[in-house]
Amino acid sequence: MTRHRRTAPLTRAIRIAYYVLLLSLLASCASPTQTAPVFPTFILITQDPNAPPTATPFQPSGPTDTSVPSFTPETPTQIPTQTATQTPLPPTPITAPATTAVPPPTGDASRTNYILYGTLDFNERTLSVDETIRYYNNTGTVLSDIVLSVQPNRYGGAFVLNSISQDSATLTNYTLNDQRLTLNLPQPLQPNSATTLTLNFNLNIPAKSSGGIFGYDFNQINLVDWYPFVVPYINGWVLHDPSSFGEHLVYDSSDIELNLKTGSDVVIAASAPSEQNGEWTRYRLYGARAFTLSASNEFLVAESAVGSVVIRSYYFDGYQAAGEAILSTAVDAVGTFESQYAPYPYQSLAVVQADIHDGQEYDGLVILATDFYGEYVGGPRNNLTTIGVHEIAHQWWYGLVGSDQALEPWLDEALSVYSERIFFENNYPGNISWWWQFRVDFFKPGGFVDMPVYNAGSQRQYVNAVYLNGAHFIDDVRERVGYGNFAKFLKAYAARYSRGHATPADFFALLRETVNVDISDLIAAYFSQSY
Q: Which pLDDT value is given to residue 109? A: 61
pLDDT(513) > 60: yes
Given a contact cutoff of 8 angstroms between Cβ atoms, the answer to whether 501 and 404 are in contact is yes
CA distance 448 to 464: 9
Amino acid of residue 394: H
CA 426, 431, 432, 436 torsion-angle sign: negative
pLDDT(269) > 70: yes
Q: Which pLDDT value is given to residue 211? A: 82
Give how far Cα 507 sits from Cα of 30, 60, 82, 488, 496, Å.
30, 34, 39, 13, 10
Q: Give me the mean pLDDT over the 62-73 stretch.
A: 34
Edge to edge, what strands does the sheet with 365-369 contain?
Answer: 83-85, 300-306, 309-315, 348-354, 365-369, 359-362
Name the residue range of residue 502's domain: 410-526
CA 235, 241, 245, 248 torsion-angle sign: positive
> Is residue 223 one of the residues assigned to a domain?
no
CA distance 266 to 264: 6
CA distance 66 to 55: 23
Q: What is the CATH number of the domain that holds 448?
A: 1.10.390.10
DSSP state of 151: G
Q: Which pLDDT value is given to residue 58? A: 52
> Is residue 517 one of the residues assigned to a domain?
yes
CA distance 257 to 378: 38
Residue range 334-362, pLDDT digits in tens: 999 999 999 999 999 999 999 999 999 99
> Is residue 516 one of the residues assigned to a domain?
yes
CA distance 435 to 442: 10
Task: Count CA atoms within 13 Å of residue 475 on its CB side.
Answer: 16
Q: Give me the mean pLDDT over the 184-192 stretch.
A: 97
CA distance 383 to 4: 11
SS3 450: coil
Given a contact cutoff of 8 angstroms between Cβ atoms, the answer to whether 393 and 337 are in contact is yes
Given a contact cutoff of 8 angstroms between Cβ atoms, the answer to whether 110 and 136 are in contact is yes
> Is residue 331 one of the residues assigned to a domain?
no
pLDDT(41) > 70: no
> Is residue 127 one of the residues assigned to a domain?
no
Residue range 204-259, pLDDT digits in tens: 999 999 889 999 998 999 999 999 999 999 999 999 999 988 999 999 999 999 99
CA distance 480 to 476: 6
Q: Which pLDDT value is given to residue 29? A: 39
Give how far Cα 171 sits from Cα of 9, 165, 213, Å.
25, 5, 32
Q: How many residues does the chain have?
A: 531
CA distance 514 to 387: 30
Which residues fall within 8 angstroms of residue 271, CB to CB, at 6 or more apart? 283, 285, 288, 290, 291, 292, 293, 346, 348, 350, 362, 363, 364, 365
Report which of 176, 228, 194, 215 is spatially closest to residue 24, judged by C-alpha positions.
194
Give how far Cα 503 sits from Cα of 47, 289, 493, 508, Å.
19, 17, 11, 9
pLDDT(488) > 90: yes
CA distance 136 to 40: 19
Q: Which pLDDT value is given to residue 30? A: 35
> Is residue 496 one of the residues assigned to a domain?
yes
Which residues fall within 8 angstroms of residue 163, CB to CB, at 6 or more apart? 170, 198, 199, 200
CA distance 30 to 44: 13
Given a contact cutoff of 8 angstroms between Cβ atoms, the answer to whether 413 and 27 are in contact is no
pTM above the 0.85 mark? no
pLDDT(45) > 80: no
> Is residue 73 one of the residues assigned to a domain?
no
> Is residue 374 one of the residues assigned to a domain?
no
Radius of gyration of the chain (CA): 22
Query: 483-496 and 470-481 helices cross at what angle (nearest 10)?
Result: 120
Given a contact cutoff of 8 angstroms between Cβ atoms, the answer to whether 79 and 327 are in contact is yes
Amino acid of residue 145: D
Through-space distance between the first and last CA atoms of the chain, rounded to whole angstroms: 26
CA distance 404 to 408: 5
Q: How many domains does the chain have?
A: 1
CA distance 329 to 332: 5
pLDDT band for position 84 (cuts 50, 70, 90): very low
Give how far Cα 149 sits from Cα of 28, 117, 417, 523, Å.
28, 19, 28, 34
Given a contact cutoff of 8 angstroms between Cβ atoms, the answer to whether 472 and 377 are in contact is no
Amino acid of residue 477: V
Residue range 419-476, pLDDT digits in tens: 999 999 999 999 999 999 999 999 999 999 999 999 999 999 999 999 999 999 999 9
